[in-house]
Amino acid sequence: MTKDTDGYIPLQNQNGGQHSSGDSQGDPTNRIIALNNKPAAKDTDIEMSERNGRVKSLSTANESCVDASSDEGTSGGMDMGKYLSVDWGKHKSKYRVAQYMRRRKSNFNMSFNTVADSDDYHFCSKLYHTKRKTFPLKDYHDEARAMRDLQKFLEHPIVLFKIHNTSWEDIVKEMIVTLATEKSELKLDVNKCIKSLISKDADYLIPESIQGIRETVSGPFTDQTFITAIGTTTAVNDSQVVMALLEKPFNFGVGAEEIRFICIVLTPPKKKHTKSCIEIGRTYSTLLADDRLRHSLINTHTPAEFAHEFEMEVHRIHKEHEKRERETKTDTSRYSDSNKPYRCIPGRLLLKDIKRRAKFYLADYVEDLNNCTSIQKMVSATLFLYFSLLLPGIAFGVLHDYYTDRKMDSKNVIVSQAIAGVLFSMFGGQPLVVVRTTIPVVIYTKIIYQISLRWAKDGSFFYTLYSMVGLSNSFFLILYALVGASNIMMFCSRSTEEIVGLFISVAFVVDSVKYIVKEFNTFYCFPDLLNTNSTLNSSIVKRAAAETSLNPADCDPTKPMLALLLMLITVYVGVQIFNFKYSPYLNADKRVIVADYALVVAVISASVLGSYVFKSIHLKQFTVNDEAPLFRLVDYKSPPPGAVITSVGLGFLMSFLFFMEGNISASVVNNPQNKLKKGSAFHLDMFVTGVINAVLSVFALPWVHGSLPHSPLHVRALADIEEHVENGHLTETIVYVRETRLTTFFSNIMIGLSLFMFPYPLNLIPIPVLYGLFLFLAFTSLGEFQMWERFVLIFTEQNLYPPIHYVRKVPQKIIHCFTLLQLVQLIGLCLVSFGGSAYLKMFFPFCIIMLLPIREKILPKIISERFLEALDGEH
């Protein structure tokens, strides 16, 4: 939290003294700025070259900033050594001094003596002094006076609600007049109060104010959502507080460009320290620094609701105060128990998770239902989950159908998703985690099918082996939950999560490329060239046809070309609509709603093109086996001993995959930046996942686990997000997330009802559109990975690097070295997963869990721990 104190200093005599060097020398927290006598153009940064350096000058709104230096030089007959600057850093546009002088109607070619005789002898008429000081947030537990100040305000709260004035002077005047009206017994001198809050020399300046400092990935910056103006005046005998909520964010100048909340604190000039305007200002600024409270206050509709939310926050603080006192009294008993030896009791951590989440279970269903905004968010998130799970589920079904020789198809995936999704939404520990079938599960199912052919060439043993592997996997998952194995995730850093997430994106791309290459190999040929009677025939064409096994009856070059076109259209339309949330059109809420339906619009658009516009070209559509039962009870009659041992080994290896993917998804959801209030439940989530997959295995349905990127996207769909711009870098802050089970419950119910849409109309979706959907999911998830951001920096000009924290703290070579090491690990995962041997692919889950010791034991020997903390510490 910072306090700004502003004051004026007269200019030193030009002939008898020297200019101050301002920011160029001395303490950077004390800065002298000269105010121009005439308003200059807004947001202009003026630069010119000297003999030995560069001279810059800035004009913003009604101020122009200059420094002085001992360097002297001439330009155009002018002694330009007298005109120096403050380097403001974030202003990109640069104009020549000639343009500035032309704008001021000055002759740039006149000599310095001529300038001295003119009215523009000085750039400025006054000096403006700013001093910045930081304060800690108010501790309501240790500082008793703070609670009394808050309770005093609540006795007679004065709140101006959603005012429309945009001038600081008008807002202050309205707030003081309201104070004088509401508390007429004070007989306030309104003018005196206003003068203590507005500079008498320049009404756009705030003499003293308090704001918050926020830590972000680009470093600390001022929280420009609120400002607390403080002042002392003899017009009051006791402290007075007025609060205002503006209708829209307003720009009150540098450092206060997005203000929604204004708090005015007035105190008598002579008061003890605890009753001073600074201490009282700290009390209210600490409250307003809580973005959760600001979110609640913005959603109020009347001043009475505003005061009620404020009162509820004070009561919450009071309860925390009492809780801390009770905990302090029991500290001695805790210390006496700390010397007892630790005993590993199976299920102890699982029971803790159950107890932690049980008290919120009912709230997970009914909380936030009394808020129209929350209901709208839930509906939007439910529809987003429905389409983002249904369409990829169909695509995964197509892969299952291809890899298992039609033993599994899209209908099985949909049934599995509906059952697992509903069960996890009801009994899972963290309901914001989304469970589904993923690409690694599809790859592992392919491995199981290939191995099952050893015992039955017709694939009839696949269901039995698949079920036994699934039951073995479930056994190990439940075992991990009972012994608390998820605690190992404390060693899982951001880099490990990103490697796994990027691998999933790469898998999407690989499968899409394989499909389109197969289409070209099959259909991209010309019957005339393959016809032996054709005059165009040649031995080269014959040999090429023989090598690729081309069939003249299959030749249709329009099919692969249309497949490629539909795939690219799906990606392009989806990405463009997804990025609509960054456009300037509509308002922020509506842009997010439009972006949420990017996937749906892209699939529908490409499907209409493929099924109706180009209906003369018959593309392959996904099919399902209508004769196969939805639930197939697996027959376990006397499996070979070798198959039992193989299933246990495969289940053990696959449990690593489920363990890592599920815990990584839960870890991303429970990230502190998401500000979740109900706590995590890693062990309970793992236990429920094991039980669900055991049920699915009995009926030979596709397995599920917590997944990326759907889980973090689900969180963002239910979140309220604030956007701030600092130093040209856009930062997003989550202020509130609705922790509900309703979105996953209803979305999976809708997915189950979609079974009635098989085969029509879902079979109107061409298969290339589904693979385009894979590419869309891969490309849109790249922006969430810091590893991808650093990979792009390798090919980016150094001067264009964004102002991110690790760019300032870590040398460039170390950044690139760390990125390349991550890339090597990612390539290793891809080689194992996409290699030709099924037995090599079996060890893919083991490779994922090996990422943990690589990060903890090997990387610190290559890169300093200090740099690793900056690159990988934020989690």
Q: Considering only residues 295 and 79, tell me which one the structure prediction assigns the higher pLDDT.
A: 295
- Is beta strand 240-250 parallel, antiparallel or unpaired with respect to 159-163? parallel
pLDDT tens-digit series, residues 295-345: 888 888 888 888 888 888 888 877 776 676 665 555 444 444 444 554 667
Residue 417 pLDDT greater than 70, yes or no: yes
pLDDT mean over 835-861: 82
Residue 26 has pLDDT above 80, yes or no: no
Return the higher-pLDDT residue of 639 and 449. Answer: 449
d(CA 76, CA 61): 28
Specify the pLDDT at position 109: 40
Secondary structure (DSSP) of 417-480:
HHHHHHHHHHH-S-TTS-EE--HHHHHHHHHHHHHHTTT-TTSTTHHHHHHHHHHHHHHHHHHH
State the pLDDT confidence band at 830, using cuts at 50, 70 and 90: confident
CB 457 within 8 A of CB 693: no
Q: Which residue has the higher pLDDT, 52 or 383?
A: 383
Mean pLDDT, to the nearest integer, of 757-786? 84
Q: Which of 87-96, 185-194, 528-537 has the lowest mean pLDDT?
A: 87-96
Which of the given ranges, 136-140, 378-382, 564-568, has the highest pLDDT on average? 564-568
Share of the chain above pLDDT 90, in %: 13
Nearest C-alpha neighbor of 783 from the set 600, 602, 595, 605: 595
Range of lowest pLDDT (97-111, 187-201, 210-224, 346-360): 97-111
Candidates 346, 290, 304, 29; CA nearest to 159 is 304
pLDDT of residue 466: 92
pLDDT at 658: 92
The answer to whether residue 20 scores a pLDDT higher than 80 is no
- Residues near 639 by beta carbon (within 8 Å), at least 6 away in sequence: 464, 465, 468, 647
Q: Could you tell me if 65 and 33 are in contact, meaning their C-beta atoms sit under 8 angstroms apart? A: yes
Residue 129 scores a pLDDT above 60: yes
Count of Cβ atoms closer than 10 Å to residue 332 Cβ: 8
Mean pLDDT of all residues in 812-826: 91
State how far the Cα of 442 lies from the Cα of 402, in Å rounded to an integer.
Answer: 10
Please check whether residue 48 is in contact with residue 39, taking contact to mean a CB–CB distance below 8 angstroms.
no
Q: 24: buried, middle or exposed (CB in 10 Å: 19+, 13-18, 0-12)?
A: middle
Q: Which two tokens stand for residue 127?
A: 């000096």
Residue 43 CA to its chain's centroid (Å): 30
Between CA 635 and CA 192 the distance in angstroms is 90
* Measured distance between the N- and C-terminal CA atoms of the chain, rounded to whole angstroms: 24
Contacts of 113-116 spanning 24+ positions with Cβ under 8 A = 115/78, 116/14
**Mean pLDDT to the nearest integer, 4-12:** 57
* Pairwise CA distance, residues 495 & 708, whole Å: 15
User: At residue 41, does pLDDT exceed 60?
Assistant: no
pLDDT in tens, 707-749: 887 888 889 888 888 776 665 566 677 888 899 999 999 999 9
Report the helix count and the strand count for the chain, using DSSP H and E: 34, 18
pLDDT, tens digit, 9 for 90 and up, residues 205-232 = 678 888 888 766 556 677 888 889 888 8
Task: Give the residue with greater pLDDT, 270 vs 16.
Answer: 270
- Interval 55-75: pLDDT, tens: 333 333 333 333 333 333 333
Tokens representing 263 are 């708090």
Q: How far apart are CA 815 and CA 792, in angstroms?
A: 11
8-state DSSP, 11: P
Q: Which of 281, 193, 261 is nearest to 2 (CA)?
A: 281
Q: Is the pLDDT of residue 704 over 90?
A: yes
- Lowest-pLDDT range of 143-147, 564-568, 809-813: 143-147
Question: Which of the pair, 800 or 277, is modelled with greater confidence?
Answer: 277
Q: Count CB-CB contacts under 10 A for residue 747.
A: 26
Mean pLDDT over each residue of the chain, to the nearest integer: 76
Q: What pLDDT sits at residue 398?
A: 85
When mean pLDDT is compared across 217-226, 423-432, 601-610, the lowest value belongs to 217-226
pLDDT of 28 strictly over 60: no
* pLDDT band with cut points at 50, 70 and 90 for residue 18: very low
Residue 522's pLDDT band (cuts 50, 70, 90): confident
pLDDT value for 729: 61
Percentage of residues in the chain having pLDDT higher than 70: 76
Q: Which alpha helices (DSSP H) does 670-785 contain, by range?
A: 682-698, 710-717, 742-753, 767-781
Pairing of strands 208-216, 2-9: antiparallel
Q: Where is pLDDT greater, at 684 or 371?
A: 684
CA of residue 202 relative to chain centroid, distance: 40
Which of 771 and 88 is assigned the larger pLDDT?
771
Task: List CB contacts of 603: < 8 A, sequence separation 6 or more.
Answer: 387, 391, 570, 574, 765, 769, 773
Task: Tell me what pLDDT residue 689 has.
Answer: 94
- Whether 597 contacts 760, CB under 8 Å: no
Average pLDDT in the 606-625 region?
A: 83
Q: Report d(CA 784, CA 575) in Å as an integer.
A: 14
Residue scoring higher pLDDT (525 or 25):
525
Confidence of residue 527 (pLDDT cuts 50, 70, 90): low
Helices (H), 524-640: 527-530, 539-548, 558-578, 588-596, 598-608
Q: 425-436 in b/e burial notation, b at 16+ Cβ within 10 A? A: bebbbbbbbbbb
Confidence at residue 537, expressed as pLDDT on a 0 to 100 scale = 46
Measured CA to CA, the distance from residue 513 to residue 551 in angstroms comes to: 22
Task: Please tell me the least confidently modeled range out of 78-87, 159-168, 306-315.
Answer: 78-87
